[in-house]
Amino acid sequence: MKILVTGSTGQLGSEIKNLEKFYPHYKFVFMDRTLMPLDDINKVWEVLESEQPDYIINAGAYTAVDKAESEEELADMVNHQCVRVLGVWSEKNKAHLIHVSTDYVFDGTSSLPLTEEAQTAPINVYGNTKMKGEVALMTVHHDAIVIRTSWVYSIYGNNFVKTMCRLMQERESINVVLDQIGSPTYAADLASTIMQIINGNIWKGGIYHYSNEGEISWYDFTRKIKEIKGFECDVNPINSSDFPTSAKRPAYSLLDKSKIKKEYNINVSQWDESLRIMLAKL
């Protein structure tokens, strides 16, 4: 059985690559943006036709949230149109597809953890292109799996945790947003969850939510990073209005993980436990 992974040099793709040795009964094909550019749907189809995978993990995406505000066409091509093509090919060739989406499909006005049935209403271009990708995929391939996740970090790539570690070593104080609430996701945990689904005896298509357990702000997250690493830097709480960005962020995007835990018997780690594991590797 062959598993094709897009976005193979990203955070999630790199963590899946680390798991390859534990699944010798699968042949993994890792595709980066040079081998399989997700903004070139003709090339995407060509690669799929050549490789004929049994499973596709779409770990690639356009994720530059602020830049997407001025690059909507490119973001839409990668996050929406390419996803539709992956779905069409998978449906036609009876392949299983797992597509990774985002908490940014929500508007952030909820005060309760968001279930898969919660109304989507993205407030930025990135979130809108990801939402359109979900809709297109579920329209053309009803048995596909969409996993929405949030605040992804890893020892690989650029992410919040690595940025905060660098800043707290360079500066005497930093300001971090207090009024955006959610839960981080250690990419290694998400990679393990995806492989558990593929390697199991159950396949139930649909939308699922996954992040680590707990409810925190970016400020709380940074304070814990400081505590674990023993940095001396002062961490000051600020409101989103004090830190304007090109793209709006959801104020509340905590994901309810009940469905994925029930359907696939997934054990979800606490956010601070996973953070300690990641920082020990960094």
From the list 126, 186, 219, 252, the catalytic residue is 126
Residue 164 domain flag: no
Under the banding of pLDDT at 50, 70 and 90, the label for residue 252 is very high
Q: In whole numbers, what is the pLDDT of the chain averaged over residues?
A: 97
Residue 223 domain flag: no
Give me the sign of the Cα torsion angle 9, 11, 12, 18.
Answer: positive
Predicted pLDDT of residue 269: 98
The answer to whether 176 touches 208, Cβ cutoff 8 Å, is: no
Cβ neighbours for 31, distance < 8 A, ≥ 6 positions apart: 4, 5, 6, 7, 8, 47, 60
Predicted pLDDT of residue 189: 98
Residue 242 domain flag: no
Predicted pLDDT of residue 133: 98
Residue 233 domain flag: no
Residue 147 domain flag: yes
Residue 197 Cα to chain centre, angstroms: 16
Residue 52 domain flag: yes
Domain of residue 82: give its range.
Answer: 2-157+183-213+248-269
Q: Is 210 a catalytic residue?
A: no
Which structure tokens are listed for 107? 């508007």
Based on C-alpha coordinates, what's the Rg of the chain? 18
Predicted pLDDT of residue 224: 98
State mean pLDDT over 252-264: 98
Q: What is the CATH number of the domain that holds 19?
A: 3.40.50.720
Residue 71 domain flag: yes
Residue 82 domain flag: yes
* Span 33-70, pLDDT tens digits: 999 999 999 999 999 999 999 999 999 999 999 999 99
Under the banding of pLDDT at 50, 70 and 90, the label for residue 150 is very high
Amino acid at 225: I
Total number of domains constituting the chain = 1
Alpha helices by DSSP H, listed for the chain, are 11-19, 41-51, 72-76, 82-92, 125-140, 160-170, 187-199, 218-229, 258-264, 271-281
Predicted pLDDT of residue 28: 98
User: Model pTM?
Assistant: 0.97
Predicted pLDDT of residue 271: 98
What are the b/e assignments for 153-163, b being 16+ CB within 10 Å?
bbbbbebbbbe
Percentage of residues in the chain having pLDDT higher than 70? 100
